[in-house]
Structure 1
Amino acid sequence: MKKLFIILCLCFLGCQETTKRQSISESIYKKTNATQNAFVFFDSLFVKNPKYLAKGFDFPVGKPNAKGYYNAQKFTVNNHLGDDWNGTGGGNTDLGDPVYAIGNGYVAFADDVGGGWGNVIRIIHQYNGTYYESLYAHCEKISVKKGSFVTKGMQIGTIGNADGAYYAHLHLEIRDNIFMKLGGGYSENTEGFLNPTTFIKSNR
């Protein structure tokens, strides 16, 4: 009787483990499948609209080389996940200045998310067969709509201060994982994020 009980317990635990593995496998499959479908969507977009493939990148302010601006908080400083671009005049002297698309691409998001982010624009770029995302935050105004295409140097908005939360500046992120959530702008984990200045300088 005791042996039978042990056998039944082992069978039960084995079934639980199998169910757990199946659940994990199904979850991974669904996530992978969703990502693959998203890539298919972007692949199709750029195949149909090849003139919007990225051909290099410029800075998002003072185009093309950020003339009149400085990087006030660089990538990874204080766990910062992007670059903060300020006008050399300081304070709010750059409030309302133009923000430009760093490269050709597709506007995946353009809206006010509130809080410390304010108006945010997210652009998907296909460059040399690889996808990247550029993210522009704290914009005062947005000049593009979700679902539209942009070209390098095209004005997409203006520099803002997130409704007075900070002095005016542009927060720029560049990601090589285009499926991440908005996030918080700061983290010790930089996986999926690239140094914006280094990326732009290396891909002119």
Structure 2
Amino acid sequence: MKILWGIIIIFLTSFSSRKQLVPNNKTNYLQESIETQDKYTKYDSLFNKYKEFIVTDFGFPVGKPNAKGYYNAQKFKENNHLGDDWNGVSGGNSDLGDTIYSIANGYVSFAENIGGGWGNVIRVIHKYEGNYYESVYAHCRTIKVKEGDLVKKGISIGTIGTANGQYLAHLHLELRDDIFMDIGGGYSKNTKGYLDPTKFINEN
């Protein structure tokens, strides 16, 4: 009899514990959903207030409007590259100091020198057809915008650099559909969150 009662108690205790896990899991899931929504609240409010900075179309970051005088020296996915490398057709440092243009209307979320292989980096958030995208411009010689600026497509945001002499002058451009990722490493087999910049620009 004692053994039977022991089994019943263990069963009831186990059942009670499992019941308690369900609400907790739901709470965690809901909390994560709310946190994700909260991340976008800032940008939803911003672009609702400044609707003229919502994207209508995209353009190239060099040789406005269609990259005239430049070529894509290392394309997206080539050698696991996560962006496009734009170089002047004359090669070498011939494009050093050339203008970098914002590829679309948007909000400057970051504009600083982070050193290493990145140098000066500009990050711009874009709202387009109800979705958010981020363009990343790296190795800049100069930065002409600051965090918090609203920019229009085709405005000068910086100049082409060498990441403090680490490379020959070029612009490393990334385009992401996950706007909350870390800066990353520029190369990876995992392309989740990244888009082919040239293909996207041509299609939009």
Same fold (TM over 0.5): yes
Q: Which residue of structure 2 lines up, in the alignment, with residue 55 of structure 1? A: 56
1:24 positional shift: 9.1
Please give the secondary structure, in 1, of the residue aligned with 2:123: strand
Shift of 1:186: 1.0
Task: For 1:93, give the aligned amino acid.
Answer: S
Counterpart Cα distance in 2 of 1:98 and 1:84: 15
Q: Which residue of 1 aligns with 2:36?
A: 35
Q: In 1, distance between residues paired with 2:114 and 2:9? A: 56
SS at match of 2:132: strand
**What is the count of residue pairs matched by the alignment?**
202
Give the Cα separation in 1 of the matches to 2:124 and 2:57.
14
Cα distance change of structure 1 residues 54 and 7 upon mapping to structure 2, 3 Å threshold: same
How far apart are the structure 2 equivalents of 1:172 and 1:79? 14
RMSD: 2.4
Within 1, Cα distance between the matches of 2:20 and 2:168? 55
Secondary structure at 1:51's aligned position in 2? helix
Runs of 5+ consecutive residues of structure 1 not aligned to the other structure: none
Which digits, 9 at most, give the CA deviation of each residue in 1:22-61, with x for residues without a partner? 47962x5444322211212111111111111111011000
Deviation at 1:18? 6.2
CA distance in 2, matches of 1:115, 1:95: 19
Q: Which residue of 2 aligns with 1:193?
A: 194
Q: CA deviation at 1:5?
A: 8.7
What corresponds to 2:128 in structure 1? 127
Distance 1:133 1:196 in 2: 11
Give distance in 1, aligned partners of 2:43 and 2:93. Answer: 37
Q: Which runs of 5+ in 2 are unaligned?
A: none
How far is 1:19 from its partner? 5.9
Scaled by the length of structure 1, what TM-score is found?
A: 0.88
Q: 1:1-204 residue pairs with structure 2 within 5 A?
A: 4=6, 11=13, 15=17, 22=24, 26=28, 28-203=29-204
Please tell me whether Structure 1 or Structure 2 has the larger radius of gyration of its CA atoms: 2
Return 12-21 or 81-90, whichever deviates more: 12-21
Task: Sort the Cα spacing of 1:57 and 1:24 in 2 relative to 1 into closer, same or farther, 3 A.
Answer: same
Rounded Cα–Cα distance in structure 2 between residues aligned with 1:24 and 1:119: 43
Question: Greater CA deviation, 35-44 or 7-16?
Answer: 7-16
